[in-house]
């Protein structure tokens, strides 16, 4: 067999590939292989629409839950989890809403579920409530202390680091390690309960930093000095020095 193949001239071999390609191409676009209802509405099978529409629904949305679980829905609408949909935690509930008796739902009572959103990760937005699970009240289920439908810390966190962990860690290895956060941010007590409504102040002028760093400032001797009139031109200091990790090099 192989010896016959070897005897065929090279140009005939190439030509035969071309012929096979053309025949295969023709078969592909011929009515033999294209479903009859293709192209009726557009570049797809018309019956595909019905097939997809007839699939079993999985999710119903959270509005319908209130019909039967009004108590939970009312509680949840006032808490921190108001924007976390019921089915995120309880799973797809279409069948349950149709017939609660035969299709029951699970409640995620274990610690590992809550940590999907709340485990500390530097890439989460600043201020998003995060914990380090192995040191945050280990072994006990989260729901013994936090109501999953209206979660609240049982006591107001005292430290800024409870919510601003990344900044606190950065500051703790910087030249500014001994400056308390509140030296630069005046923080209303209510910020710790309702952080987005009561925001702390942020320094806004060069003079603020100059209060310690200007050559004529009345601050401790060891603090490095700059000439406020010329150093860094008119730019605010934190365009060049990250205030939570200032470096001069
Ligand atoms: C038609 C009324 C109805 C609707 C709509 C409904 N439920 Fe239920 N649900 C019930 C009833 C009744 C039970 C109690 C069933 C039982 O004890 O076997 C129940 C039980 C539950 C449980 C079980 C809790 C446990 O004890 O472990 C959860 C969770 C739940 N529902 C969540 C939901 C969510 C989420 C929705 C909306 C997507 C929803 N339900 C919509 C009637 C309803
Ligand atoms: C953050 C996750 C989470 C969300 C969001 C959530 N649940 Fe739950 N739910 C739980 C957990 C955990 C339990 C178990 C509580 C327990 O055992 O003490 C539970 C329990 C329940 C129960 C049964 C016992 C009870 O506490 O009344 C019902 C009913 C229920 N949820 C309905 C809902 C409905 C309706 C919504 C949306 C309005 C919702 N859940 C949203 C986590 C959640
Ligand atoms: C799908 C993501 C998600 C899951 C799962 C989840 N949470 Fe949350 N949690 C949030 C969001 C979003 C907020 C509101 C954050 C905000 O207001 O900035 C929040 C807020 C909280 C807060 C309020 C902290 C504060 O004072 O600012 C606590 C406590 C909390 N969740 C506990 C839990 C517990 C316990 C569970 C498990 C039953 C859980 N969470 C599951 C998303 C989630
Ligand atoms: C023994 C009770 C207890 C248990 C169990 C517990 N917590 Fe907490 N949680 C607290 C207290 C007290 C605070 C507030 C003080 C602090 O920050 O430590 C808090 C604070 C929080 C905060 C918010 C801090 C902030 O930034 O506003 C979140 C989020 C949180 N817990 C989630 C969880 C999760 C998730 C679990 C389970 C893995 C859990 N908690 C288990 C008692 C508990
Ligand atoms: C309960 C959690 C929590 C605690 C505790 C907390 N913060 Fe915040 N903080 C937040 C949240 C959430 C934001 C809003 C973040 C955003 O909008 O991206 C925020 C924003 C800020 C901002 C920026 C304000 C702005 O206008 O950009 C500063 C500054 C700040 N916090 C400082 C502090 C200081 C200082 C402390 C301690 C005295 C503290 N925070 C304690 C949650 C908290
Ligand atoms: C030396 C003064 C100084 C100290 C100390 C300081 N900050 Fe700041 N912080 C600033 C300045 C200045 C800005 C504004 C930076 C900007 O606008 O780009 C800022 C911005 C912020 C912001 C909002 C922007 C961001 O980076 O997310 C938060 C949140 C914040 N600081 C929290 C804290 C916390 C928490 C501490 C304590 C652990 C702290 N700061 C300590 C000066 C300081
Ligand atoms: C309360 C006084 C105080 C304020 C306000 C202050 N600093 Fe500092 N700063 C210090 C101290 C203390 C050091 C560390 C001195 C040392 O140990 O070398 C320092 C160090 C520095 C350094 C030197 C780092 C190096 O590599 O030598 C820079 C840059 C700096 N701060 C920038 C700023 C900026 C920008 C601001 C305004 C957002 C600011 N500081 C506000 C006290 C302050
Ligand atoms: C345009 C960028 C820029 C701006 C804006 C700027 N700096 Fe600097 N800063 C530098 C550079 C670069 C160095 C290191 C070289 C030097 O000493 O000039 C430095 C050095 C410093 C030092 C250390 C001086 C020493 O002797 O060790 C301090 C303190 C300082 N800056 C504070 C500030 C303060 C406070 C502001 C706001 C008033 C500010 N900087 C604005 C770029 C800047």
| pLDDT per position as a tens digit, 51-84 | 999 999 999 999 999 999 999 999 999 999 999 9
CA neighbours closer than 13 Å in the CB half-sphere of residue 165: 16
In a domain, 192, yes or no: yes
**Best residue for ligand 6 mutational test, from 202, 240, 247 (most atoms within 8 Å of Cβ):** 202
- Confidence tier at 28 by pLDDT (50, 70, 90): confident
Q: Which domain, by its residues, includes 249?
A: 179-249
In a domain, 235, yes or no: yes
Q: Picking from 29-38, 110-119, 133-142, which range would have the lowest pLDDT averaged per residue?
A: 29-38
pLDDT value of residue 116: 95
Residues in the chain: 249
- Confidence tier at 234 by pLDDT (50, 70, 90): confident
pLDDT value of residue 129: 86
pLDDT value of residue 240: 93
139 torsion bin: left (phi>0), alpha (psi -120 to 50), beta (else): left
Measured from CB, residues less than 6 Å from any atom of ligand 3 are 80-81, 83-84, 88-89, 113-114, 116-118, 128-129, 142-143, 146, 148, 151-153
Distances in whole angstroms, Cα of residue 189 to Cα of each of 12, 145, 224: 87, 23, 32
The percentage of residues in the chain with a pLDDT greater than 90, rounded to a whole number, is: 65
105 alpha carbon – ligand 1 mean position (Å): 7
In a domain, 84, yes or no: no
> Would you say residue 22 has pLDDT above 90?
yes
What is this structure's pTM? 0.69
Q: Picking from 36-40, 172-176, 239-243, which range would have the lowest pLDDT averaged per residue?
A: 36-40
Domains identified in the chain, total number: 1
Residue 34, token pair as written in the block: 């294209």
How far, in Å, CA of 43 to CA of 205, rounded? 61
Those residues whose C-beta lies under 8 Å from the C-beta of residue 149, and which sit 6 or more positions away, are 72, 75, 76, 79, 81
233 alpha carbon – ligand 7 mean position (Å): 18
- Confidence tier at 195 by pLDDT (50, 70, 90): confident
Q: Helices marked H in 130-241 — which ranges?
A: 165-171, 181-184, 206-213
Residue 38 backbone phi and psi in degrees, to 5: -70, 135
In a domain, 224, yes or no: yes
Residue 214, token pair as written in the block: 């200007």
In a domain, 220, yes or no: yes
pLDDT value of residue 205: 95
In a domain, 207, yes or no: yes
> Would you say residue 93 has pLDDT above 70?
yes
Measured from CB, residues less than 6 Å from any atom of ligand 7 are 175-176, 179, 183, 203, 208-209, 211-213, 219, 222-224, 237-238, 241, 243, 246-248
pLDDT value of residue 1: 67
The percentage of residues in the chain with a pLDDT greater than 70, rounded to a whole number, is: 99
In a domain, 76, yes or no: no
pLDDT value of residue 88: 95
199 alpha carbon – ligand 5 mean position (Å): 7
In a domain, 166, yes or no: no
Average confidence (pLDDT) over 3-32: 88
The count of other CB atoms within 10 Å of the CB of residue 76 is 24
> Would you say residue 147 has pLDDT above 90?
yes
Q: Quick check: CB of 199 below 6 Å from ligand 4? A: no
């Amino acid at each position: 067999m192989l010896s016959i193949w070897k005897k065929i001239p090279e140009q005939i071999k190439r030509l035969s590939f071309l012929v096979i390609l053309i025949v295969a191409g023709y078969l592909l676009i011929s009515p033999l292989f294209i479903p009859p209802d293709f192209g009726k509405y557009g570049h797809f099978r018309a019956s595909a629409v019905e097939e997809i529409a007839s699939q079993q629904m999985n999710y119903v949305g959270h509005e319908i839950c209130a019909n039967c679980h009004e108590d939970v829905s009312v509680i949840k609408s006032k808490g921190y989890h108001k924007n976390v949909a019921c089915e995120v935690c309880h799973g797809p509930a279409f069948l349950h809403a149709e017939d609660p008796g035969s299709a029951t739902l699970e409640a995620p009572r274990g610690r590992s579920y809550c940590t999907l959103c709340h485990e500390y990760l530097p890439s989460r937005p600043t201020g998003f409530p995060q914990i380090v699970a192995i040191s945050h009240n280990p072994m006990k289920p989260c729901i013994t202390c936090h109501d999953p439908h209206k979660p609240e810390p049982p006591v107001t966190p005292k430290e800024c680091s409870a919510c601003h962990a990344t900044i606190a860690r950065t500051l703790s290895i910087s030249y500014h390690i001994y400056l308390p956060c509140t030296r630069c941010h005046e923080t209303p007590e209510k910020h710790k309960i309702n952080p987005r409504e009561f925001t702390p102040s942020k320094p806004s002028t060069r003079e603020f930093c100059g209060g310690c760093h200007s050559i004529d400032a009345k601050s401790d001797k060891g603090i490095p000095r700059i000439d406020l009139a010329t150093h860094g031109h008119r730019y605010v200091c934190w365009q060049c020095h990250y205030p939570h990790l200032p470096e001069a090099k």
